[in-house]
Amino acid sequence: MKHIVGIGGVTNSGKTTLTSSLLRSLPNCCVIHQDDFFKPQDQIAVGEDGFKQWDVLESLDMEAMLSTVRAWASSPHKFARAHGVSMQPDAANTHILLLEGFLLYSYKPLVDLYSRRYFLTVPYEECKRRRSTRSYEVPDPPGLFDGHVWPMYQKYKREMEASGVEVVYLDGTKSREQLFHQVLEDIRNLLLNSVAGRGQGPAGAQGPMRHAGHRKAQTGAA
């Protein structure tokens, strides 16, 4: 059984933190981080507001990300081996791919492939506070959060909701432990139900995917 699980949501909501914990606890689990698919800086458009437009789908090479997902789907064993994930013999038929990122559910070719779509939220003030302590490869210029990051988050979230994509909202102000246990239990139920033949997700993975090369991917041993 192949399952693609999305860990999406606003910047600094705890996506990477949660994903790392899940990766250590789920069997035969690989991960792809959307941040690894940012285009080079010189390809990022500058908006009328003067800011580089990092927080739009066009700033990401989503075709390359999709190819990486397809590589996993076409041969999860091979993908796991290539990324140092050792197979758990007692769960040999279970394969999980975590996709982690801030714009996971806005790219149409991927949106139906998830067995579960989690979406972490944090309120504006907390998000801004966490973001101010974060250092990215390209540091935030003054005013970026209010002028670009938060408005784009709101725009994409509104569009996602309007398009009817089904997500499971998670409150990113809960403790790391609470979030981890909540999601781990939910995914374990998902796995049990799919083994029992009930509530099977789309397992994007089951579709007619061909193997495709990938640019960057990270994985973790279960």
Ligand X SMILES: O=C(O)c1ccc[n+]([C@@H]2O[C@H](COP(=O)([O-])O)[C@@H](O)[C@H]2O)c1
Ligand Y SMILES: Nc1ncnc2c1ncn2[C@@H]1O[C@H](COP(=O)(O)OP(=O)(O)O)[C@@H](O)[C@H]1O
Task: Give catalytic residues, as residue numbers.
Answer: 35
Binding window for ligand X (CB under 6 A); candidates: 8-16, 87-95, 113-121, 191-199? 8-16
Closest CA to 136 of 149, 118, 151, 117: 149
Interface positions with ligand Y (CB under 6 A): 11-17, 130, 174-176, 179
User: What does the DSSP 8-state code read for residue 133?
Assistant: T
Q: Is 102 in the site for ligand X (CB under 6 A)?
A: yes
Q: Is 138 in the site for ligand X (CB under 6 A)?
A: yes
- CA–CA dist 179, 160 (Å, integer): 22
Binding window for ligand X (CB under 6 A); candidates: 10-18, 71-79, 113-121, 200-208? 10-18
Give the Cβ contact number of residue 201 at 10 Å.
20
Binding window for ligand X (CB under 6 A); candidates: 7-15, 18-26, 118-126, 187-195? 7-15
Binding mask 18-47 toward ligand X (x if CB under 6 A, else -) reads -----------------x--x---------
Residues that bind ligand X (rule: CB under 6 A) add up to a total of: 13
CA angle 84/87/90 to nearest 5° reads 160
Contact residues for 217 (Cβ-Cβ < 8 A; gap 6+):
30, 31, 32, 33, 36, 68, 72, 79, 83
The stretches of the chain forming alpha helices (DSSP H) are 15-25, 62-74, 76-82, 108-111, 124-132, 144, 150-162, 176-195
Q: Which residues pair with 101 in a beta bridge?
A: 8
Q: Is 57 in the site for ligand X (CB under 6 A)?
A: no
- Least distance between ligand X and beta carbon 39 (Å): 9
Q: Which is nearer to ligand X, 55 or 105 (CB)?
A: 55
Q: What is the contact surface with ligand X in residues (CB under 6 A)? A: 11-12, 15-16, 35, 38, 54-55, 102, 136-138, 149
